[in-house]
Structure 1
């Protein structure tokens, strides 16, 4: 049975859970050594609004680029659920070391357990999985563009993060990079 509204609601609930977890955990971190400006915070918030608008725009316009096949939408729901689950698991493991921006924390620790044993940026992996899954469910061109732009933006952010982590953990981070991938296990 094909029920696109149910698939859409499931992805929306996943994103609501994601947002609630991020809001609940946002102040449970160590003190930043480098602080984010108010401008950076507002840009991040605006970015999220644009992301979610783009993801769910097809619901308002009715314009789908992708076919509304049950199998495609079911795959999208599974990707979204798995992606949000990976994001939350990774965020909980990162704990007090998490930062919304690229910033060092006081007494920063290198986390290498759980999904961090396989990929260095599992929150981004999960986020991209959830974006891709939601795009498959809503099927809009804007959702696909948002997913691609976010992937490119996160890839650039990873470069800055890896430079910082290499400075914070000389030798240890290089060894960690040798045995893990950036985003996709066994590939990238």
Structure 2
């Protein structure tokens, strides 16, 4: 193995266990979807999580190739990574809590869908994605693997596509309210984009 399990690594693993536990706990506590997600969509979502987590922790499993560590195992870099991971997971959990029964794993409307604009939704329209990208980036700084860096970039681009799909859906569901909401909040990065 090219990477040992440091305290930094353990903290990120703990963060992701917390994230996954919270998501699993609430996965069926949502309103009914107007359009049911297919088995293929659910499988692709699970596969995506598997690829993300295996890429993030590839340096723990591989000695070279795409799993090799390319970022230095620097205390400052890893401390920053832990702070980003913790912050990102907390943003995800807070945002998911506020969405409540309106949350969906896919881009779909719920029966009696509500537009949430409180908490982190005051600053960005997609704070779960903001938090997730932040946590993934933080974990990448801790593990430092090439696979993690590549997956972080691919994942961020994929989320941008999903964000555009969600923006269309929410604009159709809440034509006036969502347009007004878009005018005073950013998509993903507070005060920037």
* TM-score, normalization by structure 1: 0.97
| Aligned-partner Cα distance in 2 for 1:163–1:46 | 25
- Check if 1:78 corresponds to 2:83: yes
Task: Return the alpha-carbon distance in structure 2 between the equivalents of residues 29 and 181 of structure 1.
Answer: 26
Distance 1:27 1:114 in 2: 23
Partner residue in 2 for 1:95: 100
Q: Secondary structure at the match of 1:171?
A: helix
- Give the counterpart of 1:109 among 89, 114, 117: 114
Equivalenced residue count is: 186
**2:133: which partner in 1?**
128
Q: Give 1:1-188 correspondences, 5 Å limit.
A: 5-62=6-63, 63-188=68-193
5+ residue gaps, structure 1, are: none
Structure 1 moving runs of 4+ over 6 Å: none
Cα distance in structure 2, aligned partners of 1:138 and 1:165: 36
The root-mean-square deviation of aligned C-alpha atoms, in Å, is 1.0
SS of residue paired to 2:6: helix
Task: Give distance in 1, aligned partners of 2:50 and 2:100.
Answer: 25
The alpha-carbon deviation at position 4 of structure 1 amounts to 6.2
**Contact preservation (8 Å) 1:4, 1:137:** no
Partners of 2:172 and 2:105 in 1: CA distance? 19
Gaps of 5+ in 2: none
Instruction: Provide TM-score, normalisation by structure 2.
Output: 0.95
